[in-house]
A and B are shown apart, each in its own frame.
Chain A
Amino acid sequence: MPAAAAAPETEEDAVLDIDLVRRCQAGDTRAFDALVTKYRGRVYAMAYHLVQNETEAWDLAQESFIKAWRAVSSFKGDSAFYTWLFRITHNVAYDWLRKKKIRADGNEFDDSRADHGVAAGAETVARAVPAPDTAMKQSELGQRIREAIAQLSPDHQQVILLREVEGLAYEEIASAMKCSVGTVMSRLFYARKKLQEILHDLRP
């Protein structure tokens, strides 16, 4: 029996966040500083998984928090603060990726060509490799996985990261991505299928 998706925070955390957000909405920058301290590691990780560059991820994390500050008055509390923050982070990273034209073929995120198109500057994904738990270093495996994720559309990248990395439940993902649970499920299923195809040599 698989474990239920672990909530990233307790109810107490959620209450704390609501209090901090209210203070932010009243202009309290120290309350925002507390939120930054709490979530900077996760925002940075999300940005890093999407753009795969430390410096850029740092800048994007900054941008995400600044955007969050500017938009905090519009946060209604209909989702957890962190899911709202992750949505902002993903959009910031996506805009950056789009501007950088990371896709070499000009068709920015075309999953139907994922097997053939290769992200500019990325290593070739399909290659014969030995079993990952013996011959491949962890950092190489991580790199391959990030490259594989980079070949998905932004929506599929986001659903995979929110589910597999952040451990959000379907409802939370739907709230963060402003779509239905059904859409979350179909995107998640598709994204997993595509990743399995790209990383076919790493199957058990």
Chain B
Amino acid sequence: MKTTPENQDATPPDWMRWLDGEMPAAERASFERELAGDPGLQAEVEAARHLSAMLKQELPAEMSIPHADFFNSQIQVRLSQIEAEERRSVPVAASPWLGWLRMPWLIGAAAVVVALLAVRRDEAPSSESNTLVMSTYAPNPKVVVNAFHSEAAEATVLMLEGLEELPADRKVVGWHLDSGLTDPASMSTAFSGPSGEVEVVMTRDARNQPRLWVPRS
């Protein structure tokens, strides 16, 4: 049987109010006289004080939160989403063509609009110098885009969620490139490094999709 904890409570003794600093001054003096002459009461008070000390020592009131700035920026992103949701919650007729309003990209786009408005509403001197994201579209419906400006980082962020992870055994290779020039005749683009050597070439396949390849040295 589940008992109600409160039913088990004895009436709290006076010493508890004294220990917690909640005893009015008028009562304190007489209680302290009583405490001085009662070893049993002293032991009880001491046991409670010891417990309190242990709790205070082992359970800090404040802890460093991991990734503190990210914590704040994530909350700001969610606030933008809440605002976007609230704007979308205006009832509309159940019309098929309005279904696109619920497309994931519009959530991102709405968040973008909200983020832009948030920046402008704040009228912060720096808002006019921030990079702005006007619209976003993720072709893959599983990908959700959130755009926001991070004051702390002084950067504008496009956060993509729902991306498929890259396999751990994939060798990600980077290049150091200084320029890229397209040859209109071949529709190929040659990218060169600091030394002037062509390091990467881009061509197009039959579907006009880019293909990157590294020239043999």
| A and B in contact, CB less than 8 Å | yes
B61 touches A166 (CB 8 A): yes
Residue positions of A touching B, CB distance < 8 A: 1-5, 8, 29-30, 32-33, 36-37, 40-42, 44-45, 48-49, 54, 58, 61-62, 65-66, 69-70, 107, 110-112, 132, 138, 141-142, 145-146, 153, 155-156, 160-161, 163-167, 169-170, 183, 185-190, 192, 195-196, 199, 202-204
Residue positions of B touching A, CB distance < 8 A: 2-3, 5-6, 8-13, 16-22, 28, 32, 46-52, 54-68, 71-72, 74-76, 78-80, 82, 118, 122, 151
B56 touches A165 (CB 8 A): yes
A interface SS class: helix
Q: In the complex where A36-B75, A70-B82 touch, is A142 in contact with B61 (Cβ < 8 A)?
A: no
Q: In the complex where A49-B59, A155-B5, A169-B22 touch, is A189 in contact with B12 (Cβ < 8 A)?
A: yes
Q: In the complex where A40-B72, A186-B12 touch, is A156 in contact with B63 (Cβ < 8 A)?
A: no
A189 touches B10 (CB 8 A): yes
B61 touches A167 (CB 8 A): yes
Residues of B within 8 A of A203 (CB): 47, 50
A33 touches B9 (CB 8 A): no
Q: Choose among A61, A69, A183, A190 the residue that contacts B65 (Cβ–Cβ < 8 A).
A: A61
**Cα–Cα distance between A167 and B52 once the two chains are bound (Å):** 11
When C-beta atoms are compared, the residue in chain B nearest to A46 turns out to be B61
A164 touches B82 (CB 8 A): no
Q: Choose among B10, B20, B71, B118 the residue that contacts A58 (Cβ–Cβ < 8 A).
A: B71
Q: In the complex where A111-B5, A145-B55, A164-B56 touch, is A30 in contact with B122 (Cβ < 8 A)?
A: yes
Q: Choose among B22, B58, B74, B76 the residue that contacts A138 (Cβ–Cβ < 8 A).
A: B58
**Cα–Cα distance between A29 and B82 once the two chains are bound (Å):** 12
7 A-B pairs within 8 Å (CB atoms) are namely A1-B28, A2-B18, A41-B62, A41-B64, A45-B62, A62-B74, A110-B2
When C-beta atoms are compared, the residue in chain A nearest to B58 turns out to be A142
**Cα–Cα distance between A188 and B51 once the two chains are bound (Å):** 12
Q: Choose among A111, A165, A187 the residue that contacts B61 (Cβ–Cβ < 8 A).
A: A165
Residues of A within 8 A of B122 (CB): 30
A187 touches B60 (CB 8 A): no
**Cα–Cα distance between A153 and B55 once the two chains are bound (Å):** 17
Q: In the complex where A2-B20, A45-B60, A66-B78 touch, is A189 in contact with B9 (Cβ < 8 A)?
A: yes
**Cα–Cα distance between A169 and B22 once the two chains are bound (Å):** 8
Residues of B within 8 A of A146 (CB): 58-59
Residues of A within 8 A of B78 (CB): 62, 66
